[in-house]
Amino acid sequence: MSGRLADALLVAGTTSDAGKSTIVAGLCRALRRRGIDVAPFKAQNMSNNSAVALDGGEIGRAQALQAYACGLDPITAFNPILLKPGSDHRSQVIVRGHPAGTIGGADYRSRRRELAAVAVDALAGLRRAHEVVLCEGAGSPAEINLREGDIANMGLARAADMPVLVVGDIDRGGVLAHFHGTVAVLEPEDQRLIGGFVVNKFRGDRALLQPGLDMVTERTGRRVLGVVGYDPTVAMDVEDSLNVPVESTVGTPAPALGAGPLRVAAIRLPRISNSTDVEALACEPGVEVRWTADPAIVRDAHLVVLPGTKSTVDDLAWLRAAGLASALEQRVAARRPLFAICGGYQMLARRIVDDVESGRGAVEGLGLLDLDIAFHPVKTVRRVAGVADGARVTGYEIHHGAVVRTAEAPLLTDDRYGPEGSRRDAVVGTHWHGLLESDGFRRALLREVVALTGPSGFIVAGDTSAVEVRDRRLDRLADLVEAGLDVDAVLRIARGGPPHVPTLFTRLQW
């Protein structure tokens, strides 16, 4: 596309987890089905759930999913700034897909102009290349204490002269007040960009809600453009590890084909990253995946997954303090299956030398695999493909730690880099994220689990496709958005630009 900039729209939220990522993904798929060349965008993301883009850098997992909804390969321009928290106070900053140091609150203030320029430039490039760009905000635009340095919400909207939809989660309660209050606390120039509202996660009788929606329109001058229903079966890749509560289940598995269920315990690490790795397991009939920090559940499950982490050494210390390290040792001694990914794989080593991520130097690992790990300043970020047990597999790597010595048999052979991962009896480890989305590998792993620990009579489905399951969920999500949201009105707002409707207040009235 050339000439004028494409239509663009920012989807903001009254709160974090209001459903911005989901609404954008649903709209992306709905517009693509209409033949519109649509692309996603998020100026700045804070998440340890990331993916490797086509051009070799990291972006937020939510933007990779939104790209897939658009029929596009993910590129770093879709999420030019990614903050990956390593502690409560500092985050690794990824700029245009690549590490650019760590920042805290003070550092961010000093770099906000630089980061804002990156975001605005990336959005302009996408608007030159596509018909419509759907932008996702971050947190809430009502966080007025952060407005001065904002580059993801109203700061971006004003810089790009872009209209804004505000999404509210009715499950949280108070959504009508959230709509009114969000607009009311904004500066007049920001208020004029708000084009309408969307109620998300609605369950119940729309007629009972309608008087409230009418009052919102009367008091704000903006329409509620839709009420999107709640359907737990369309749950998609989560953006934030805070959305992975302990003792929550992943997805809604279909009934088991034979005896079941097959219970998978995924350990909920404090600094978990790429929690979405386990979602492919939850696609399988009869496989129940539960996040847990309970040693008894870890000992008893048919399969345990030890996932990735943004802070391997710190989460290893937590694992020991929580009694989970002992539970894992007991599993391994009993030949009960354990599958470890990236940081979780590194924890299984005999020795970890980390002068990069934690700065702790040499640390004793769990010793469940005979290998050593060393952290390198240069981060490994790449898409990968290879062969495991004669079958093609794919995945991606995002890590500083690397195997520097091993006495273990490899799990697979990488096409470019040779042996990868480790396998010893019932213990399997790999640096590859996304490996469980390779259908043949996942089925073989589950068959091994059934052979070792049961449940007796469990049948591993032979036709589950993780990619097809994701595609069907995106289509159901688009159906849900189309049914509840006036998509034509959304397009008119995107094409017409900011509505510049009257402000509610020239300043907040308490």
Catalytic residue list: 342, 433
DSSP H helices in 130-276: 154-160, 175-184, 188-191, 206-220
Query: Is beta strand 422-424 parallel, antiparallel or unpaired with respect to 412-414?
Result: unpaired
8 Å CB contact between 395 and 438: yes
8 Å CB contact between 93 and 11: no
> Hey, which residues does 409 pair with through a beta bridge?
423
CA 333 to chain centre: 34
- Cα distance between residue 8 and residue 163, in whole Å: 8
8 Å CB contact between 183 and 504: yes
Burial of 205 (0-12, 13-18, 19+ CB in 10 A): exposed
8 Å CB contact between 141 and 164: yes
Cβ neighbours of residue 408 under 8 Å, at least 6 residues apart? 369, 370, 371, 422, 423, 424
8 Å CB contact between 489 and 229: no
The helix/strand/coil state of 389 is coil
- Cα distance between residue 13 and residue 248, in whole Å: 24
The widest CA-to-CA distance across the chain, in whole angstroms, is: 71
Q: Phi and psi (nearest 5°) for 309?
A: -150, 150
- Cα distance between residue 179 and residue 198, in whole Å: 9
Query: Is beta strand 98-103 parallel, antiparallel or unpaired with respect to 91-95?
Result: antiparallel
Name residue 75's amino acid. I
8 Å CB contact between 228 and 199: yes
SS (H, E, C) 59-81: EEHHHHHHHHHCCCCCCHHHCCE
Element (H, E) at 202: strand 194-202
Name residue 425's amino acid. D
CA 277 to chain centre: 10
- Cα distance between residue 32 and residue 400, in whole Å: 37
- Cα distance between residue 89 and residue 83, in whole Å: 12
For the CA atoms of the chain, what is the radius of gyration?
23
The tokens describing 273, both together, are 């990253």
- Cα distance between residue 13 and residue 26, in whole Å: 15
